[in-house]
Amino acid sequence: MSALNLYLGLRCFLNAIHVLHTAKYSQTTTVIFAILFLAFGAAGLYFSFVRPDPRLGLLVAFGPWVLAIVVLFLALVTGNQQ
């Protein structure tokens, strides 16, 4: 799960610095996703392998998904719907 978070965070980061052009959301939302997924993915790997606590690692790995849903909802509510 943490490896998937790191992969998605890396893709969002590459979209944020304009290496990839596959982002469907605004630049700000893409940067927020990159920070969320990279930070929580790294923390999940840390808690899974360095400090062998798989329960905490899995809990941390699900964190960015919950926060991403909240950010997406806020972006859709506050965005310009044309």
Structure token digits, residue 22: 């596959």
| Average pLDDT of the segment spanning 32-50 | 90
Residue 18 is part of which domain span?
2-78
Q: What is the pTM of this model?
A: 0.80
What is the DSSP secondary-structure string of 18-54? Answer: TS-----S-HHHHHHHHHHHHHHHHHHHIIIIIS--H
pLDDT at 5 over 70: yes
Q: What Cα–Cα distance (Å) separates residue 56 from each residue in 65, 80, 82?
A: 15, 38, 42
Angstrom distance (rounded) from CA 16 to CA 79: 18
Confidence bin at 79 (pLDDT 50/70/90): confident
Q: Rounded to a whole number, what is the distance in angstroms from the first to the last CA of the chain?
A: 36
Number of domains in the chain: 1
